[in-house]
Every structure is written in C-alpha cells, then in structure tokens.
Amino acid sequence: MARRSLALSKVYGLLEPGPVVLLSTARAGKANLMTLSWHTMMEFEPPLVGCVVSDRNHSFRLLKATRECVINIPTADLAEKVVGCGNTTGADIDKFTVFGLTPVPAALVGAPLIAECFANLECRVADTRMVASYGFFVLEVVRAWLDRAVVRPRTIHHLGHGNFMTAGERIKLRSKMK
C-alpha cells in the first residue's frame, strides 16, 4: 500500500467525530454562541460530554463562571451561520442578532436554546479537573430536546481548514454496541 506521511497538524481532521455544534452560554442576561467541534461522548446515562473550549474564547469565561451551557446541533442549512459564529467573538458582537438566530429559554439552565437547531442539550459542568491543562470541560446533559419535524438531520462535520462534510447515507448492521 502506498502510504504518505500526514502532517501531525492534520490528524484531527481524520478523527473529528461528531457534528459541529453551537455552544450557547449566558451571563447577566447576555447570551453568546460559539462553534465547537472538539467534543466527545463519555457516558451513556446520565449523558456526559467532554468539550474542549479554548481559554481564548469569550465562551470560556462564561462557561467557567456560570457552569451552564446548551449544546445546539445545527443542520447543513445553517452552515454559513455556524462558521460565522466560529469566526467572531461575543466579546464584540451579539451573535444571535448578527446571525439571525433565535434564543429560546431553556428549562433547567440559564443559557438559551437555539430555535433553528434540531437538537438542544441543556448541560451543567460536571468536572473541571482538566480545564486548566486542556480547556476540557466535562458536561452533564440534564435535559434534551429534539425537533420532531426533522427526520434525517443533515449534520455538519468538520474536516479542517474550511472543509466540511454533511451526514449522508445510513447503513444498519447487527451491533452489540447499544
């Protein structure tokens, strides 16, 4: 097999697992959004999700202070807005207004859901032991919402450097993994 060496800086593009999400946070009545693709499932129930949030982001400060957020999962029709939220900072602008997204109050946390996203996971920070070293927050999902009208959500997946994939064909196999 002809293999070529891959720059270590490109490894993440092969392993980027789940969909790109929008993380919403809020403090003192002001909500913010950031685009996030470095996340991983850690437990089935209660669902635990690990997320890397860089301390260079405004969202880092909000998440650290409030210990609450919402993971919103967008579909491909929102791709431009999703990238926009990843290229701007809530320290300077109100992203809900600038990108025309609609905040909806959550049931259990102070951060809002995004109405346009087909799934919304209300989260509380469960573990901060790796925040100082990696910006890695362990989040517990305390409430989850799904838009019944969206049957096969075409989620967005990050490949790096402005390249994205959208979810496509599904296959069903016998698997022992629940």
139 binds ligand FMN (CB under 6 A): no
| Cβ–Cβ < 8 Å for 70, 111 | yes
Kindly tell me which of 18 and 47 has the beta carbon lying closer to ligand FMN.
18
Distances (CA, A) of 131 to 44, 88, 91, 125, 173: 22, 22, 21, 11, 38
The only residue of 26, 31, 36, 71 in contact with ligand FMN, by rule CB under 6 A: 36
20 binds ligand FMN (CB under 6 A): yes
59 binds ligand FMN (CB under 6 A): yes
Contact pattern from residue 81 through residue 100 relative to ligand FMN, giving x for each residue in contact according to CB under 6 A and a dash for the rest? --x--x-xxxx---------
**Helix H or strand E encompassing 58:** helix 58-66
109 binds ligand FMN (CB under 6 A): no
Candidates 48-56, 100-108, 126-134, 170-178; binding stretch for ligand FMN (CB under 6 A)? 48-56
Q: What DSSP string describes 88-145?
A: S-TTT--HHHHTT--EE--SSSSSPEETTSSEEEEEEEEEEEEHHHH-EEEEEEEEEE
Which residues bind to ligand FMN, rule: CB under 6 A? 20, 32, 34-38, 52-54, 57-59, 83, 86, 88-91, 158
